[in-house]
Structure 1
Amino acid sequence: MSYDEVLAERVRELLEQTEEITAKKMFGGLVFTVQGNTVVGVVGDELLVRVATDDTPQALARPGARPFEVRGRISKGWVIVAGEVLDDHVLNDWLHLGRKAAATLPPK
């Protein structure tokens, strides 16, 4: 599966404003890591976001959000966001949520 290169570049530019990131091809797309932990990814034209357990209900209530499923199983700690809702403000909010969740993990 390919990924939306325009969305990936938007994500890269926003994340690089605040921290050093690494981009890796994973999940059939491109993921962005901080200190070795995935913050977000671009899969197709959608955003994959790491979400803390406590933030999951509120995250799933947002427009365009749904659980991340792998082989029919919901993957806890991850949310998929439809690309069409990702204007700059909304994208920045999701990146903040992903950074917040990744920051709770030890560096790899």
Structure 2
Amino acid sequence: MGYDLDLADRIRELVGTERNVVEQAMFGGLAFLVNGNMSVAVSRQGGLLVRVDPAEVEPLISDKVAPAVMGGREMRGWLRVHEEVVESDDGLAEWVRRGVGYARSLPAKKGR
């Protein structure tokens, strides 16, 4: 299954005014990079992958938000957000804001 094209379009609308945002196909989904740092990605498994401060992960976990796992390993500082959470515009905007904000706080990757 490919990633949700409508969800990708909704994210584009939210990040359209942000500086230095680039889209890149990754892991079968579509990632949005800020200054070369991944911030949020539309997952081919549905929903979003969102990058957050690793120290803030625990309080964000719920029945619809879980630590992201790839290749059997938990990805530190990444959350998998169920599609139900991002169905509403407010829900999506909150998670995109979190991911973009955290990625923007990181040092820019060289060449960005």
Normalised to the residue count of structure 1, the TM-score between the two structures is 0.90
Q: What one-letter code is carried by the residue in structure 1 that aligns with 2:35?
A: Q
Distance 2:17 2:92 in 1: 14
Compute the displacement of 1:104 (Å).
2.2
Distance 1:54 1:103 in 2: 16
Compute the displacement of 1:97 (Å).
0.9
Distance 2:95 2:19 in 1: 16
Q: Identify the residue that residue 56 of structure 1 maps to in structure 2.
A: 57
Distance 1:75 1:83 in 2: 19
Identity %: 38
Distance 1:22 1:64 in 2: 27
Local SS of the residue matching 1:74? strand
Q: What one-letter code is carried by the residue in structure 1 that aligns with 2:61?
A: L
Compute the displacement of 1:34 (Å).
1.1
Q: Identify the residue that residue 27 of structure 1 maps to in structure 2.
A: 27
Aligned residues: 107
1:1-23 deviation line (CA, Å, top 9, x unaligned): 51000000101110113334110
Q: Unaligned regions of 5+ residues in structure 2, if any? A: none
Moved more, 31-40 or 95-104: 95-104
Which has more helix, going by share of residues?
A: 1
User: Over the residues paired in the alignment, what is the CA RMSD in angstroms?
Assistant: 1.4
Q: What one-letter code is carried by the residue in structure 2 that aligns with 1:16?
A: G
Q: What one-letter code is carried by the residue in structure 2 that aligns with 1:41?
A: A
Compute the displacement of 1:37 (Å).
0.8
Compute the displacement of 1:28 (Å).
1.2
